[in-house]
Amino acid sequence: MKGLRLTAFMFAIVVAGQALASGWDVNVISSQGLLFSPGPGSTATQVPVVVNNNPPAFAPFIVTVTTLPQITFTTALGNPNPVLVGDGTTFTGGTFTAQYTISTRPGKGDLTGFNFVVSAFVWDYGQIIWTKKVVCIDTSEVLFNGSGVFSGAAYAGGSNGFHNLNQFVPLSNTCSNLLVIESFVLHIDGAPAPGSSTASLLLVEQDWVPEPASLLALAVGLGGLALRRRKA
């Protein structure tokens, strides 16, 4: 009888291990800035992306993670230029756009939301306008569509200095295959550059959250294993 319990315990360990070993495929499609000067043309800048604990990489790339996806666009480290207009540069406007997908592997719960973090710096006529959309690839349903703005003190209600957004965003529905599209527009509203007016996008991060039931099931399963082992 004890041997049967040991066999069942080992089988459960294998099953739990397989669940933990599965994960999410993160496909970073694009991560690019464009900076504009008063003259013709634009300057492209590539923004490195950090996925979980992996080293920074330039899009496109695909990585599989076994812990909840964390995608960080290090816009202050753009190559050859940070995503910044005004200040000591000749850039008067710019954009940053990014796209990526997350596909859930068997054994992991659907993703239900994310913690959205943005860090920026604006001064005088500096302004950053952002939009973000999350779409379920399987159904084409828009699960989130949001926008916001960071404004310097030259605008009504604005303020000079660092601006930080840190908020949890629940999706309108669960989904196992997500497409995320985000866009940031930076400008200094015609102010001279170089000059005091500045708009700098420092960092864009999203930490994803799974379906609560999947976490509960895994916790109960592992807790039950520990309890049965003590009784044996």
What is the model's pLDDT at position 212? Answer: 59
Residue 118 contacts by C-beta under 8 Å, 6 or more apart in sequence? 130, 163, 164, 165, 201, 203, 204, 205
| Beta carbons of 125 and 228 less than 8 angstroms apart | no
- Region of 140 (left: φ > 0; alpha: ψ -120 to 50; beta: rest) is left
- The single-letter DSSP state of residue 137 is T
Residue-by-residue pLDDT tens, the chain, 232 positions: 545 444 443 333 333 444 445 799 999 999 999 999 998 789 999 999 999 999 999 999 999 999 999 999 999 999 999 999 999 999 999 999 999 999 999 988 899 999 999 999 999 999 999 999 999 999 999 999 999 999 999 999 999 999 999 999 999 999 999 999 999 999 999 999 999 999 999 999 999 998 654 443 344 334 443 444 444 4
What is the model's pLDDT at position 211? Answer: 65
3-state SS assignment for residue 20: helix
Q: What tokens appear for 216 in the block?
A: 């509960």
What is the model's pLDDT at position 11? Answer: 38
| Beta carbons of 194 and 90 less than 8 angstroms apart | yes
What is the model's pLDDT at position 41? Answer: 82
What is the model's pLDDT at position 210? Answer: 86
What is the model's pLDDT at position 227? Answer: 40
**Strand extents, DSSP E, the chain:** 24-36, 42-46, 49-51, 61-65, 70-73, 84-86, 93-104, 111-123, 127-136, 142-151, 161-175, 177-187, 198-210
Instruction: Give the separation between CA 147 and CA 139, rounded to whole angstroms.
Output: 23
